[in-house]
Chains A and B, each alone.
Chain A
Amino acid sequence: MESHCLKRPTRRQFLSSVAFAALAGSAGGAVARSISGEPPWQSGAADPPIQVRPGGWMFFTADEVSTMEAVVDRLIPADELSIGGREAGCVLYLDRQLAGSYGASARLYTAGPFLPGLPTQGYQNAETPDQRYRLGIASLNAWTRDNKDGKRFAELSGDDQDAVLKDLEAGKIELPNKVNAKAFFNLMLSGAMEGFFADPIYGGNKDMASWRMLGFPGARYDYRDHVSKHNQPYPLPPVSIAGSTEWMSR
């Protein structure tokens, strides 16, 4: 393997065998290079996900955690089918997502001007998901304080929480700080569902609870022995990218 600074590249350099010629460095680790002679292969080039470990909060404050735990437990209630959103780790999932590139809209187009759009044009505001959660949760609690006997959302009864969430979903509540109630509800709903149904490595879907509930086998990747078994239940429990709880010693 050869490496060249190609400020003034030569034909020889470009044609060198298996040349991983770093044209220049960059902050993101993505570096332009010239490749010829072989398909490149480097050990350690694979990029597996980093497993979320519980413990501490990286984005949410304690007050935000209690609000979000109440929300996800109403969206995904505990019942005979599965554990609820709180126990499944949906808030932990969201915390780590919001502390990461998702929270900052790092992969999206965020240049202005920001103009009000039509529904067919999608989200057109400048706020990133981390800002939307911060302001949205505060606005939700401000609204319940003003309209529900000074209580925070988490302090309401389950039925009252459901009623508030339904009104948010329908856009019947006007939240302070110009927060769009419907849009904020949809943001929380999609976040909770992602956490509940994503691979457990991201902090939610504890013990693959949602996958067991549905009968989704997860990361198994080979169903050739079952494809012709029409209308017959698949016999094996799910596995995660990180493995299966069944494989671990108890």
Chain B
Amino acid sequence: MSQHAPSVDGISTATSPADSGSAPAPHPLVIEPASGWMPIDLAELRDRSDLLLYMTIKAVKTRYVQSALGFTWAFIQPLMTIIVFTIVFSRVAKIPMPSDLPYPLIAFCGILFWSFFAQSLTAASSSLVSNREMLTKIYIPRLIFPLSQSLAKLVDLMITLVLLGVLMVGFRIAGEPVSPRPEAVLVLPAMILLAFVASLGLSLWFSALSVQYRDVAYGLPFVVQIGMYLTPIIYSTEMIPAAIRPIFALNPMLAVITGVRASLLGPPFLYHPALLVEGTVVAVALLVSGAIFFRRSEHLFADVA
């Protein structure tokens, strides 16, 4: 390496970083100042997939630890919500649903996905700040913090989906006309994916922002609460005036819940393809822009957290 000329203090300075290739360099890792736009390092994420797995397991396991009811809480929370909603919105406020199906079933389809979205958003958005101990001591791909939190909430969603299945079978046995459309087998996973993409995309924005601006942590509960009323949970998509539906559909969760109800409950719930496309586009845009923003601010996390 003749290019490396020793300087006055005996410190060697590389005059030409691009060497002639004498050193066998299997994976030269180059650390440089963060420079504006960089793509997400997907290869690195794949390399650390075991880490993602254990971080997700940790997030799932530590949630209900040392509680008597344990995982039962994952059922109790949506179940209680549905009971309260049924009493308040169906019996007291008498919100008319377009279908003859029982109100709890219709509302449950919405609550399930909304609570996944809300919990995933809340947990993932605070994941960087709450892991600052780790963030400032050791390097792991930072994306793993919000990603593992979102994945853990996805596990919860799967559990509560079982509850929805039980509810559907129960109502059917009770003589209600519960008949999912056959394509639900495909539509449901797609809607789960859409909800995941939307929540992760927004979480990437919020988690990166909250490192520098703690305002995010204070504002987020309001966003979640207001968002719940702007999403067709206690009412249906069809009840939104057609003229302003495209505005409401900027919220990707509208597309998710519309798709879930149309596939699982059947007519009169419709797919509204235009709304689904709009929601999907917004969700993907959130994820891509969130990933870019996250990556862009990543270099600051350890210094500012």
A and B co-occur in one complex: no
By a beta-carbon cutoff of 8 Å, the part of chain A in contact with chain B is none
